C-alpha cells in the first residue's frame, strides 16, 4: 500500500545573525491520482490501450493492400463514369467530344446556379480540376465554384452570404443594385468575371479586378438577393466608358433587365455630370440592346421636349441632347440615324432634325406594353467614386484597360496596317 506524505507544516529552526527564528516549511504533497496520471503519460494512447492493442506494425499497408486499393479505386471510377453516361443518355444530352487542339480544354457544358441548370456558351479559364467536369456548381450568393453536387450542398448549408458584398445603392420593389469594389472584394469579383466569361466570348479580363467597380443587379425575396446580372466600369475619372462589361444571365433575359442595367449606367453618368459610352467593340447582342436603348431614350426625350404642335421653341442640338441624356455625341447621331430623324439639306449640306412624334409614341408604347421593370431615379443613394492620390497616379497615367477582345477582322486590319483602324473618335482601336 502506498503511504501518502503528510501535508502538515513542519517546524524548522533557522539561525541568522545570532537570532533564532521559527519558520513554517511545507513538504511537497503528491496525491495518489496525480502520480498515477504521471505514470500513464509514458504509456501509448494515454494508457487506454495495452501494448498489444497499441501495436501498429500490422496496420502498415503492404504491396498487396495497395494493389487492392488501386483496383477498388478504378472500379469506383468506372461505375461513376457509367452512371454519368446513363444520365446523359436519359436526358438526351449530346456528349461533347474531346478537342484535339488542347488536352486542357474546358469540358464544362452547363452550370448549376440557384436551382437552374444553364447551358454555357463559351469556355472560361477555370482551374483544371474544375474544367474537366461537365457540370460546374456555382453558389448564387458568393459565386464560389465547386465540382460536385455534394460539395455544393454542404456549402449551401454553411454559406452565410445572402447578398453580394459591398454597398446597396439602389432598391425599388424587389430589385436591388449593389456596388462592389474590386480592390476590397477581389475573390468575389474574380469569380464574377469567370462566370461572365461563360456567356461573353469577347471578355479578356478575369483576375485584374482592382481598377474596376462592379454593379450587381439582384432580385430580392425571403431567401435573399438572387443574382440577375451586372456591369462593370473603370474607377478612373478620365475614362470615357461608363460600361466595360455587361451581362444578364440567360435565365433572366427577356425581362427587361438588360435595359435596366444600361439605363442605370447612364443614370450614374448623369449623376457624375458627364457623358459616357460602352467599351467598344460591342458584341452582337450588346449592340442590339444598346441600339434599342438609345432609340427608346431619344423617343422619350422628344416626347417630353416637344410641344403639342411638335416644335421646340428654344432650338435643339446634338450637344444639348448629349448633355441631357448622358450619351456621347456619336451615340446620339447613331440613334438619330436609326430613327431617321436626321436629314441633310442637299444644297447647304447642313443637317436638321425631322422627328416623327407618332412613331416615337408607338415605339414607347410598344416597349411599355411588355411590362418590363422600369428604373426609378429617386431610389438611387449614391455618390461618385473618388480615387485616392496614390491610386489616381497609377490608373490615370496608365494606358486604357481593355476588357474586350477586338473582332477578328479588326485584328487582321491592325496586322496589315495599324494606322488604318481608326474609330469614330479618331483614336486607334486598342
Q: For residues 401 and 173, which has the higher predicted lDDT (pLDDT)? A: 173
Q: What is the predicted pLDDT for the residue at 40?
A: 58
User: Exposed/middle/buried for 355, CB within 10 Å: 0-12, 13-18, 19+?
Assistant: buried
Question: Does the bond joining 72 to the residue before it have cis omega, within 30 degrees of 0?
Answer: no
68-80 burial, b at 16+ Cβ within 10 Å, e below that, comes to eeeeeeeeeeeee
Query: What amino acid positions are annotated as catalytic residues?
Result: 279
- Which domains does the chain show, CATH number per domain? 10-47 (no CATH), 110-282 (3.40.630.30)
**Residue 250 pLDDT greater than 70, yes or no:** yes
Given the C-alpha cell 436626321, which residue does it identify? 342
Q: How far apart are CA 329 and CA 349, in angstroms?
A: 19
Q: How far apart are CA 235 and CA 171, in angstroms?
A: 23
Full-model pTM: 0.68
What's the pLDDT tens digit per position in 281-321?
888 888 999 999 999 999 999 999 876 665 665 678 999 99
Poorest-confidence range of 13-22, 42-51, 203-212? 13-22
Q: What is the predicted pLDDT for the residue at 409?
A: 54
Q: How far apart are CA 319 and CA 327, in angstroms?
A: 10
Q: Do strands 241-243 and 277-278 pair parallel, antiparallel, or not at all (unpaired)?
A: parallel
Q: For residues 412 and 405, which has the higher predicted lDDT (pLDDT)? A: 405
Q: How far apart are CA 326 and CA 321, in angstroms?
A: 8
Residue range 224-250: mean pLDDT, rounded: 92
DSSP 42-88: TSGGGGTS-TTTT--TTSSPPHHHHHHHHHHHHHHHHHHHHHHHHHH
Listed residue (335, 338, 339) closest to 355, CA to CA: 339
Amino acid at each position: 500500500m502506498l503511504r501518502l506524505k503528510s501535508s502538515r507544516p513542519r517546524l524548522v529552526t533557522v539561525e541568522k545573525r545570532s537570532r533564532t527564528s521559527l519558520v513554517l516549511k511545507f513538504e511537497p504533497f503528491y496525491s495518489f491520482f496525480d502520480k498515477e496520471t504521471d505514470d500513464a503519460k509514458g504509456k501509448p494512447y494515454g494508457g487506454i490501450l495495452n501494448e498489444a492493442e497499441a501495436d501498429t506494425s500490422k496496420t502498415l499497408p503492404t504491396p498487396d493492400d495497395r494493389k487492392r486499393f488501386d483496383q477498388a479505386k478504378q472500379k469506383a471510377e468506372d461505375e461513376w463514369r457509367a452512371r454519368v453516361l446513363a444520365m446523359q443518355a436519359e436526358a438526351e444530352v449530346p456528349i461533347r467530344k474531346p478537342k484535339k487542339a488542347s488536352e486542357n480544354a474546358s469540358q464544362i457544358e452547363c452550370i448549376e446556379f440557384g436551382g437552374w441548370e444553364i447551358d454555357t456558351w463559351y469556355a472560361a479559364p477555370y482551374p483544371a480540376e474544375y474544367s474537366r467536369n461537365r457540370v460546374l456548381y456555382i453558389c448564387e450568393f458568393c459565386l464560389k465554384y465547386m465540382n460536385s453536387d455534394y460539395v455544393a450542398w454542404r456549402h449551401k448549408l454553411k454559406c452565410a452570404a445572402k447578398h453580394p458584398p459591398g454597398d446597396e445603392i439602389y432598391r425599388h420593389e424587389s430589385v436591388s443594385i449593389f456596388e462592389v469594389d474590386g480592390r476590397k472584394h477581389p475573390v468575389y469579383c474574380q469569380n464574377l468575371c469567370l462566370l461572365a466569361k461563360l456567356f461573353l466570348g469577347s471578355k479578356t479580363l478575369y483576375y485584374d479586378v482592382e481598377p474596376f467597380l462592379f454593379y450587381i443587379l439582384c432580385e430580392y425575396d425571403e431567401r435573399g438577393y438572387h443574382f440577375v446580372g451586372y456591369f462593370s466600369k473603370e474607377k478612373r475619372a478620365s475614362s470615357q466608358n461608363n460600361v466595360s462589361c455587361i451581362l444578364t444571365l440567360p435565365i433572366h433575359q427577356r425581362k427587361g433587365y438588360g435595359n435596366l442595367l444600361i439605363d442605370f449606367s447612364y443614370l450614374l453618368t448623369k449623376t457624375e455630370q458627364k457623358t459616357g459610352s460602352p467599351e467598344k467593340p460591342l458584341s452582337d447582342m450588346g449592340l442590339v440592346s444598346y441600339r434599342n436603348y438609345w432609340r427608346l431614350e431619344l423617343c422619350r426625350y422628344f416626347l417630353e421636349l416637344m410641344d403639342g404642335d411638335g416644335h421646340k421653341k428654344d432650338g435643339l442640338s446634338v450637344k444639348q441632347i448629349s448633355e441631357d441624356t448622358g450619351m456621347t455625341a456619336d451615340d446620339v447621331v447613331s440613334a438619330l440615324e436609326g430613327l431617321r430623324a436626321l436629314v441633310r439639306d442637299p444644297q447647304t449640306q447642313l443637317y436638321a432634325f425631322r422627328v416623327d412624334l407618332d412613331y416615337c409614341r408607338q415605339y414607347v408604347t410598344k416597349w411599355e406594353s411588355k411590362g418590363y421593370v422600369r428604373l426609378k431615379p429617386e431610389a438611387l443613394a449614391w455618390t461618385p467614386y473618388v480615387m485616392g492620390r496614390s491610386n489616381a497616379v497609377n490608373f490615370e497615367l496608365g494606358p486604357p484597360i481593355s476588357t474586350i477582345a477586338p473582332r477578328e477582322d479588326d485584328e487582321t486590319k491592325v496586322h496589315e496596317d495599324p494606322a488604318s483602324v481608326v474609330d469614330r473618335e479618331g483614336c486607334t482601336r486598342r
